[in-house]
A and B are shown apart, each in its own frame.
Chain A
């Protein structure tokens, strides 16, 4: 085996090839099949209102999953995003309800606070993971507890409420039936897609996931790129916090319990390999929709909560098995 440079590794695994398009088409077809199924078997699924609902319900998971894609691509995992989102929302909730602020100042302050909390938590995850080459699984599990505890401590376990009206308006605003918050999520998908495909940084992330040593030998600072990936993941948790607050007009220290698992599921169903180096954020977009459409459609069909949970689990496992075969048959 010859040692490739980071750029070569990245290009070899490049996600702009026909193969990757086929990958994504596979999951896309699965999504279409689901949509078709629910359209036939429930009368309300394919209505404008329900589509708006699905878009709203997919938004937070999609935002978290975009950040998660970066971390999983380098072969890491971030279990802390749900808790970090709650912590960010609590701090932003404190900021937005500060006495004596105009509505505009309050909102700006809240957005800054939420994203800052997310970025700091993500950077801590990344720095510790990279500095001591520790498994991100454990470090982010620690952060999951730290952020949750901090959220509860800072809020004294109380729900924070009464936000400026303009903020609520943003959370429920529609643009031709498309929730504005969903458009924020879609913009993030696009930005991530651009970064991952058309910047050296993005291609090096694939390289790190494939062969960290090769990237290092090619003279790149793996350390810095790893921190960046986790920081981006934290940032999306902060953005998700803002969306949560705008949509529900509260900050809750118990928000987002288990959200990390949904975000990871979206990424994996979307065809990104848990081992890193392979996958795309477009797949993540589709993965998030598969989860969202399932959650929505199974309620419309009238399936019990417990059956719904079981089916979601089955879908995740099937997706990973499919991924195994995809990897096998598309390998060079």
Chain B
């Protein structure tokens, strides 16, 4: 009798404890971003914070990095999240190879890991025996959409140049590949391809020089909009309105340029929603849903003027 009473009391207190813990401990999601100095990721972070507030059923811990190449801080962030015992880690890896091992450790600790924005390297995943889905846009086919819009205007043999992102940055590489896909498919003449490190002023200088070397350029494919702005300014200074420019990202500053035709097109990959979507998917798995598999592509859209 006494024992039964004790057991009931114990059980109730346990239940109370558990529910109290649950009320306080909504699932915790650790979000690991890339450089928050990048407009794109800053918007993404804001989208995620709005999402947290709107849903209200999870707690968001977000970590960014100092700059594009500071991937060590991402690895540290994963380790800290493991220590804190988060329920899910949603990560946009700065390095598609270096991040595999720490994420494997997180999965072994029972944390749901969702990889978004930039896919982890398939080879390394195989090597480490990690099976992890990717949620994100196809940068390569996005760039090809912008490139195709340009190619359709120029026709076969059109002379184009590519302004690339940071050498070594995965999204930059994918976008350059997408542009080259266009070049191959439409038989364009790629006269030069150079990096301007994602930056407006550098793109302005680099493109001015390319234009001097190749005055017969007809089209420019820039791997992001910041660089496209630099190209547009270079064309204005050179007094050339016969050269078409496409960019990528659809940042606010190119709105007027698309509108008045100084830029032909850009690509929107809905960055603001991207982290939020990835978090929703992670929460579904945390709640007992099936594991994600393969490549869950997120929408991309070509933005053109009227």
Contacts and interface: CB of A to CB of B under 8 A. Distances in A.
B243 interface: no
A53 B230 contact: no
B42 A157 contact: yes
Contact of A158 (B39, B198, B206, B230): B39
B167 interface: yes
A242 B159 CA distance: 35
A299 B213 contact: yes
B36 A254 contact: no
Nearest to A159: B253
Interface in A266-325: 295-296, 299-300, 302, 305-306
A252 B225 CA distance: 12
B194 A254 contact: no
B200 A299 contact: no
Given A42-B213, A159-B251, A252 B200 contact: yes
A255 B252 contact: no
Nearest to A157: B42
Interface stretch (A1-9, A129-137, A216-224, A243-251): A243-251
A305 B237 contact: no
B74 interface: no
Contact of B201 (A244, A295, A305): A244
Nearest to A258: B197
B25 interface: no
Given A172-B236, A255-B200, A302 B42 contact: no
B192 interface: yes
A162 interface: yes
A255 B201 contact: yes
A44 B209 CA distance: 10
A295 B200 contact: no
Interface size class of B (residues with CB under 8 A): 35 or more
Nearest to B195: A305
Given A159-B226, A254-B37, A53 B253 contact: no
B128 interface: no
B37 A152 contact: yes
Interface string A153-184: 00011111110000000001000000000000
A250 B228 CA distance: 12
Interface centre among B38, B210, B237 (most CB of A within 10 A): B237
B212 interface: yes
B212 A254 contact: no
A295 B212 CA distance: 13
Contact of A172 (B195, B205, B237): B237
Interface centre among A156, A161, A300 (most CB of B within 10 A): A161
Interface in B156-215: 167, 192, 194-195, 197-201, 204-206, 208-210, 212-213, 215
Interface centre among A57, A60, A253, A306 (most CB of B within 10 A): A57
B247 to A, nearest CB: 12
A56 B212 contact: no
A223 to B, nearest CB: 34
A17 interface: no
A50 interface: yes
A179 to B, nearest CB: 8
A247 B233 contact: yes
Nearest to A47: B212
Nearest to A259: B201
Contacts of B251: 158-159
A257 interface: yes
Nearest to A43: B213
A256 B200 CA distance: 10
Given A159-B253, A247-B233, A250-B229, A302 B213 contact: yes
A248 B210 contact: no
Given A157-B42, A250-B200, A305-B167, A300 B213 contact: yes
B238 interface: yes
Interface in B9-62: 36-39, 41-42
B299 interface: no
A53 B233 contact: no
A39 interface: no
Given A248-B204, A255-B201, A44 B213 contact: yes
Given A53-B205, A172-B237, A295-B205, 10 more contacts: A42-B213, A44-B213, A56-B237, A152-B36, A158-B252, A159-B200, A159-B252, A248-B233, A296-B205, A302-B192
Interface of B: 36-39, 41-42, 167, 192, 194-195, 197-201, 204-206, 208-210, 212-213, 215, 226, 229-230, 233, 236-238, 251-253, 256
